[in-house]
Structure 1
C-alpha cells in the first residue's frame, strides 16, 4: 500500500481495509480482557498536575465528591480512571447525565412490566397457589438492577470509583436530590422494603461489567431488607463543562477542581505517554513538536481545541504512509477545527 487512503473516490471494491495499522491506544475494542486493558491504559497515561493530586487526596481523606470543571478534552474523565488505576479501585462505574436523568436512574431500576409478563407464564397451571406466589416473590431480584450510584454505595473493603459525567447538563433538581445520598451514603429500594418481612435477602444485578476486575465478583449482590449502606464512601468525580451554576448547598458538599488547558511541556508529556513505543523516536518527536506548536498557535487564536484532537493528528501524521504536501496541511486544519459553535 503506497497511499495512506484506504477509501478513494471511484475505485473498484477491494480488500485494502485489511492493511489498516493498529488503532490508537485510546480507540481499541475487543473482548472483555482487551477492553479492560484499554481502560487501565487510559488511567496509566493520564498526566496529573500537582493541583489535581492535592484535590484528589483531599477528597479521599474527607470522603467528599470531587467536582471537576474544565473545557472538553482537558482530562476530566481521565482523572477518575487514573485514580482508580493507581489505587486499584476496580472498574470505574460510569453515570452519564442528561436533562432527563433522575436520582432513581443512578440508584436502581425495576422492570415491573417484564415481571408482570413472566408471572402468567409461570403460574398458568395454578396461579392462585401460595407456593406459586412465593416463587414469584423470590424471583423479584431478576427484575432489579442497581445503577452506577447504587452500586458505588454497596459495602466494600475499599472505596468504589464512580464517574458522574456532565452533571451540568442535569435537570435543575438533580444536584439537590443528590445531597441526602452524599451525606448519608445510603438509600432504600421500596420494592424490596415492602417484602422484607417475607424475604429479607434478595440477589440483584449491579452496574459492574468488566470480567477481569476484582469488582466483577460483585456483578450480583445480596440486598438485605431493601437497604443499601456503604461502609467506605466511594471516590466520586463529577465532571462539568461549566455550562451552569450549582446551588451553594450542593457545592458545600463537594471539593472543586478547575482543570486548565495543558501548556506546551504538559502536551509533550501527554504525547510521550501515548506514543512512547514509537520505533523512530527522533523523527516522531520532530513531527510531534511541529504539530504541538501548530495546536498551541490555533488555541492562542481563541480556538477551542481538545487534547485528543492533537493526539488524533499525531497518530495520522506519523504513520508509515501519511498525508503529504497540501493534503497534509488541509487535513491538519480539519483535525484542528475549533469546538466553538
Structure 2
C-alpha cells in the first residue's frame, strides 16, 4: 500500500498539532459549531505513561499502526484487547503525543460506571445549597463535562479519549454508548429544560481550569474524537457495539520492546544488566502464565536503587525478592 498513514507509532512527540487530518467518510461527518479550547500541556502524564525521551523510537507491529490509522480515517473507536500489562492504554498517549492532540481524556471504568459519568454530571444539591440566600446561581457552575463529553465539544481537531477497561463496567454500558458513538452528540437534560430562559451556558470541562459554552443543551462534535477502548477480555461485548469499533489485539511485548520500554522510562540511568533481567523476566512470565510489563519496570527500579547504594548483589535473597515482585496475575486454580 502507498503510505496513507498519519500515525506511525514511532514514539515521536509533535512540536505542533497535525494540520492535514484526512476528511471523514460522508456518513461520519459532524456539524458541531464553535471551537472548544484545550490545554497544550498534559502535566507530564504522557511522560509518566510512555517515557520521556523524544528521540526514542517505539517499533509497533504493522497491524497496530494500520488499525490506528484506519480508526482515525473512519472516525470509529478502536477496541484494544490483550492481557493485563501489555501496554493497551499507553497507545492512547502515543497517538496524542505523535499527532499533537493535547492531553488524553481518560475515563476509567468500574462496575458502578454509567454513561453519564463519561458525558457530564450535574450537582443539583450544591446548586440548591448555593441558592439558600435567595439568589439564583449560574447553572453552568454545577455542570461538569466528563472525559467523553469534553471530547465531543466542537473543535477543529479531535481529542484522544481513553475508555479504560470497559469490560469491568455494567453489562449495559456498551449498548448505552452506541447512540453517542453513532451521532457524535448528546444532550444535557438540565440545560435543554433551561434553554427557554438562557440558550447559552458556560460549563466546566474535564480539562482542569477550562470551560466551554453549550447552546440549547446540545453538545455536538465537529471532529469525532480518537477513541481508544481497552479490555482485558473479562467478558464479550454485544455485536451492535463491536460493529461500531475496529478491533486490535496487543500481544505481550517481545525482548526488544521491553528493552525500549526500560530505556524510555529510565533514560539510560538504570544501573543493572537489563538484558539479563529481561531474560529472567520472560522466563518467569512463561512459568506463571504471563506477567505485566510494569512488573519488569519495578524490578529494574529496585535493582538500580540497590546498585546506586552499593547493595545490589544478584544472590538468593535478590532472587526471592524478584519472585515476590514477579507474582502471578491470576490466582492458581
Q: TM-score, normalised by structure 1?
A: 0.79
Q: Does residue 145 of structure 2 align to residue 119 of structure 1?
A: no
Q: Aligned equivalents of 1:242 and 1:339: distance in 2? A: 14
Deviation at 1:264, TM superposition (A): 1.8
Aligned to 2:177: 178
Deviation at 1:139, TM superposition (A): 0.5
Whether the 8 Å contact between 1:43 and 1:85 is mirrored in structure 2 is no
Q: 1:34 to 1:234 in 2, by over 3 A?
A: closer
Q: 1:143 to 1:238 in 2, by over 3 A?
A: same
Q: Aligned equivalents of 1:314 and 1:294: distance in 2? A: 12
Q: Does residue 71 of structure 2 align to residue 64 of structure 1?
A: no
Structure 2: unaligned runs, 5 residues or longer? 1-38, 53-57
Whether the 8 Å contact between 2:84 and 2:232 is mirrored in structure 1 is yes
Q: Aligned equivalents of 1:94 and 1:260: distance in 2? A: 22
Aligned to 1:291: 277
Q: Does residue 329 of structure 2 align to residue 339 of structure 1?
A: yes
Higher helix share: 1
Whether the 8 Å contact between 1:152 and 1:160 is mirrored in structure 2 is yes
Q: Aligned equivalents of 2:119 and 2:196: distance in 1? A: 23
**2:266 aligned residue (258, 268, 275):** 275
Between 1:147-156 and 1:309-318, the stretch displaced more is: 309-318
Whether the 8 Å contact between 1:43 and 1:84 is mirrored in structure 2 is no
SS of the aligned residue for 1:83 comes to helix
Q: Aligned equivalents of 2:279 and 2:50: distance in 1? A: 26
Deviation at 1:50, TM superposition (A): 2.1
Between 1:36-45 and 1:90-99, the stretch displaced more is: 36-45
- Match runs of 1:1-341 below 5 Å: 36-40=43-47, 42-43=49-50, 48-121=60-133, 123=134, 136=136, 139-209=138-208, 219-278=210-269, 284=272, 287-319=273-305, 320-321=308-309, 322-324=311-313, 325-341=315-331
SS of the aligned residue for 1:159 comes to coil
Whether the 8 Å contact between 2:49 and 2:93 is mirrored in structure 1 is yes
Whether the 8 Å contact between 2:105 and 2:161 is mirrored in structure 1 is yes
Whether the 8 Å contact between 2:152 and 2:219 is mirrored in structure 1 is yes
SS of the aligned residue for 2:106 comes to strand
SS of the aligned residue for 2:213 comes to strand
Once the two structures are superposed, residues 75-106 of structure 1 have per-residue CA deviations (whole angstroms, 9 ceiling, x without a partner) of: 01111011001111111111111111111111
Q: 1:62 to 1:44 in 2, by over 3 A?
A: farther
Once the two structures are superposed, residues 131-174 of structure 1 have per-residue CA deviations (whole angstroms, 9 ceiling, x without a partner) of: x5xxx2x6011111111111010011111111001100111111
Deviation at 1:33, TM superposition (A): 11
SS of the aligned residue for 1:318 comes to helix
Deviation at 1:38, TM superposition (A): 4.2
Q: Aligned equivalents of 2:197 and 2:324: distance in 1? A: 63
Q: Aligned equivalents of 1:40 and 1:265: distance in 2? A: 20
Once the two structures are superposed, residues 255-301 of structure 1 have per-residue CA deviations (whole angstroms, 9 ceiling, x without a partner) of: 00000001222222222222333287xxx4xx111111111111222
Q: TM-score, normalised by structure 2?
A: 0.80
Deviation at 1:43, TM superposition (A): 4.0
Deviation at 1:44, TM superposition (A): 5.2
Deviation at 1:37, TM superposition (A): 2.4
Once the two structures are superposed, residues 168-188 of structure 1 have per-residue CA deviations (whole angstroms, 9 ceiling, x without a partner) of: 011111101100000000011
The structure that has the greater radius of gyration is 1
Whether the 8 Å contact between 2:200 and 2:213 is mirrored in structure 1 is yes
Q: Aligned equivalents of 2:155 and 2:126: distance in 1? A: 31
